[in-house]
Amino acid sequence: MVPEYREGLRGYTGGMPGQDVSFELDAPLEDLVKRILDIPSPSGHEGPLADAIEKALQSAQHLEVMRLGNTVAARTSLGRERRVIWAGHIDTVPVGDNLPSQIRDGALWGRGSVDMKGGLAIGLSLAVALDSPQHDMTWIFYDNEEVEASKNGLGLFGAAHPDWAVGDFAIVGEPSNGAIEGGCNGTLRVEIETPGKQAHSARSWMGHNAIHSAARVLSRLNDYTPATITVDGLDYREGLNAVGITGGIAGNVIPDSCTVTVNYRFAPDKTLPQAEAHVREVFEGFFVRVVDQAGGCRPGIDGELAQGFISAVDADVRPKFGWTDVARFGEWGIPAVNFGPGDPSLAHSDDEAVSLAEVRAVHQGLRAWLSSYSD
């Protein structure tokens, strides 16, 4: 299929619906990455890529394949003692002018090269190639990661097929510079409202200024020392911060309300209720309303299984502070890490590019670990 541009669509449109695409799975890894990259799959338009992935997985006798929408999963059932889940999203942010992909200076350039088709190629290649991995494997290739959480294919798949959402350890193939980024912090957002009594500002003594009262909320934030908590051997830095403040009615009115929005990023040693209780304790005496929350995820890297993984892939290990899809595994009670090629700071940028050497290194590490069957 010749890459082409179409009027009316945003940039490169190779692999649009109706085009038959497939992969040569015995070709070199970099060819597979380039092939996957050249099938555009912005969120909501993952069909052709999902079709090609499904076809590739169906070709492997050792895999049971399950599809939900444009999320495709496959698993082995070899009776191993442990099960590992590998997951990666197949969608990208909208394609700009950076497709078709190009190889320059040992790197593959183009939309999605970092986030996360480099990782995707590794997962797909290993899913098909490893017919006897040392742990039973579940591979999940999911859609709609780059859009609102309610559409997220990993979340929807786990909800629809809870028997597939089981395992002892999970690896999310998101770019991590080839390092292992363990778990993730949880996040809780609350609104703290201070009350007041409205009055004309020419007679301010008739009222009670809610903005002035917010000083005590901000002072508690300034007095707060965020903790660093070690979970499964990794140090998670927490944070408690105002991310918004709003108050005021008019330039001549003493305001009767002021709202401070506070974001608590908490280590994965805490459940959501524990995190909420902590915030309520910090702001005791104030009205606290939870507006948004998402739990964290333990890295689980102190276990035997993960230790084997770490020593096999020979990569740096550090905590993940930002909230990622790793946390969905946290919800399912499965410790998880990010491990994939590419610099996350290049994700979504116009000069997105992934080092092919890093793609090979991550592939090699995972392959080495999963192949070393020793039961």
Q: How far, in Å, CA of 298 to CA of 342, rounded? A: 23
Q: Among residues 2 and 202, whose Cβ is nearest to a copy of itself?
A: 202
Q: Which one from 91, 181, 238, 276 is the annotated catalytic residue?
A: 91
CB of 362 to a copy of itself, least distance (A): 23
Q: Name every residue whose Cβ is closer than 8 Å to that of residue 193 and which is 6 or more positions away in sequence.
A: 257, 258, 259, 260, 286, 287, 289
Q: Which stretch binds a copy of itself (CB under 8 A): 47-55, 141-149, 318-326, 354-362?
A: 318-326
145 noted as active-site residue: yes
Q: How far is the CB of 147 from a copy of itself (least distance, A)?
A: 16
Measured CA to CA, the distance from residue 32 to residue 28 in angstroms comes to 7
| Residues of this chain, 176-235, that bind a copy of itself according to CB under 8 A | 185, 187, 189, 200-205, 209, 211-212, 214-215, 218-219, 221-222, 226
Distance of CA 65 to the CA centre of its chain: 23
List Cα–Cα distances, 271 to 129, 170, 253, in angstroms.
38, 19, 42
What is the token pair recorded at 294?
């998402």
Query: How far is the CA of 220 from the CAs of 95, 214, 285, in angstroms?
Result: 45, 10, 12
Does 244 interact with a copy of itself (rule: CB under 8 A)?
yes
Member of 251, 281, 285, 351 binding a copy of itself (CB under 8 A): 251
Convert residues 252-271 into a mask of x (bound to a copy of itself by CB under 8 A) and - (unbound).
Answer: xxxx--x-xx-x-x------
Active-site entry in 38, 145, 174, 193:
145
- CB count within 10 Å of CB 180 equals 23
- For a copy of itself, the closer of residues 6 and 237 by Cβ is 237
Closest separation in Å from C-beta 46 to a copy of itself: 25
Amino acid sitting at position 228: T
Compute CA distances 342 → 109, 177, 181, 360, whole Å. 11, 5, 13, 11
Q: Is 6 exposed, middle or buried (0-12, 13-18, 19+ CB in 10 A)?
A: exposed
Concerning whether 105 is annotated as a catalytic residue, the answer is no
* Contact call for residues 303 and 137 (beta carbons, < 8 A): no
- Identify which of residues 166 and 218 has a Cβ nearer to a copy of itself in the complex: 218
For a copy of itself, the closer of residues 159 and 215 by Cβ is 215
x/- track of binding to a copy of itself for residues 151-180 (CB under 8 A): ------------------------------
Residues forming the site for a copy of itself (CB under 8 A): 185, 187, 189, 200-205, 209, 211-212, 214-215, 218-219, 221-222, 226, 237, 239, 241-255, 258, 260-261, 263, 265, 292, 321-323
Active site members: 91, 145
